[in-house]
């Protein structure tokens, strides 16, 4: 059988654009949930929109409002620390994407750093050609950035119009949304073991520590287990 040749570059680029648009639109839709949950956690509409504009990383944003929802303003420090821990992965993405993305000039470098997130990195790395990888990265990042901020505003307005969001159960929805983001990542044995161990530590420390701190203590446990690769070693032996 004759081996098929790869598609020409224009086809690869159209594929990158299509992938970027599909992922971008689907991801941006979750901004409605964040906007409503942020208002439920006690932030107003403009604070919520500012958070999406400046932070712009969904996992960290959900973590921040989740801790604030459970502990209020007093848990602000813990909420920021928790969000920062989750945001560290974006630094790793930046190092991986630097040779892929064209970042000539300071404006383009700042823009690339702003839109370096899970989805833009994933779409770029899924492409098989350098130019299409850059196209996929920029299309995904720009579409999500614009869409996420628009849907955040919409969600915040909806949440604000509902009044007492606790009557609708939204005070517990932030934790559920964050669990939904985490669940698909628990496919490996070690990841599941770390999640269970961290959850147990957080549950035990919750009655004695202020809101937000149990999450940080659990994060330390997860870091130690991951650093020494404990469960993978035991399973291999």
Residue 77: what pLDDT?
63
The b/e string for 108-130 (b: 16+ C-beta within 10 A; e otherwise) is eeebbbebbbbbbbebbeebebe
Domain ranges in the chain are 9-173, 186-237
pLDDT category at 113 given cuts 50, 70, 90 is confident
pLDDT, average across residues 136-146: 91
pLDDT, average across residues 59-63: 77
Average pLDDT over the chain reads 75
Residue 46 has pLDDT above 50, yes or no: yes
pLDDT tens digits, one per residue of 152-178: 999 889 877 766 555 555 555 545 555
Q: Are 172 and 162 in contact (CB under 8 A)?
A: no
Share of the chain above pLDDT 70, in %: 64
Q: Report the C-alpha dihedral over residues 132, 135, 136, 142, rounded to 10 degrees.
A: 180
Complete DSSP assignment for 27-87: HHTTHHHHHHHHHHTT--HHHHHHHHHHT--HHHHHHHHHHHHHHGGGGHHHHHHHHHHHH
Residue 121 has pLDDT above 70, yes or no: yes
CA distance 172 to 7: 48
Higher pLDDT, 179 or 80: 80
Q: Which of 17-31, 93-107, 141-155, 215-229 has the highest mean pLDDT?
A: 141-155
Residue 5: what pLDDT?
43
pLDDT category at 1 given cuts 50, 70, 90 is very low
Closest CA to 81 of 224, 220, 229: 220
């Amino acid at each position: 059988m004759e081996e098929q040749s790869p598609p020409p570059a224009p086809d690869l680029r159209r594929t990158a654009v299509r992938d970027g648009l599909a992922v971008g639109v689907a991801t941006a839709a979750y901004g409605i949930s964040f906007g409503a949950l942020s208002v439920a956690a006690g932030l107003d509409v403009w604070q919520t929109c500012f958070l999406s504009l400046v932070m712009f990383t969904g996992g960290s944003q959900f973590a921040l409002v989740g801790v604030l929802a459970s502990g209020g303003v007093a848990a602000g420090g813990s909420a920021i620390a928790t969000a920062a821990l989750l945001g560290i992965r974006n630094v790793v993405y930046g190092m991986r994407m630097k040779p892929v993305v064209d970042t000539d000039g300071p404006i383009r470098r700042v823009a690339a750093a702003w839109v370096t997130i899970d989805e833009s990195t994933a779409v770029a790395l899924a492409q098989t050609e350098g130019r299409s990888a850059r196209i996929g990265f920029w299309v995904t990042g720009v579409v999500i950035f614009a869409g996420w901020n628009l849907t955040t505003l919409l969600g915040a307005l909806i949440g604000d119009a509902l009044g007492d969001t606790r009557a609708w159960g939204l005070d517990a929805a932030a934790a559920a949304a964050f669990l939904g983001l985490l669940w698909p990542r628990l496919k490996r044995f070690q990841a599941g073991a770390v999640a269970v161990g961290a959850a147990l530590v957080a549950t035990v420390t919750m009655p004695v520590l202020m809101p937000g701190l149990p999450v940080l203590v659990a994060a330390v446990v997860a870091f130690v287990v991951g650093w020494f690769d404990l469960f993978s070693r035991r399973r291999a032996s």
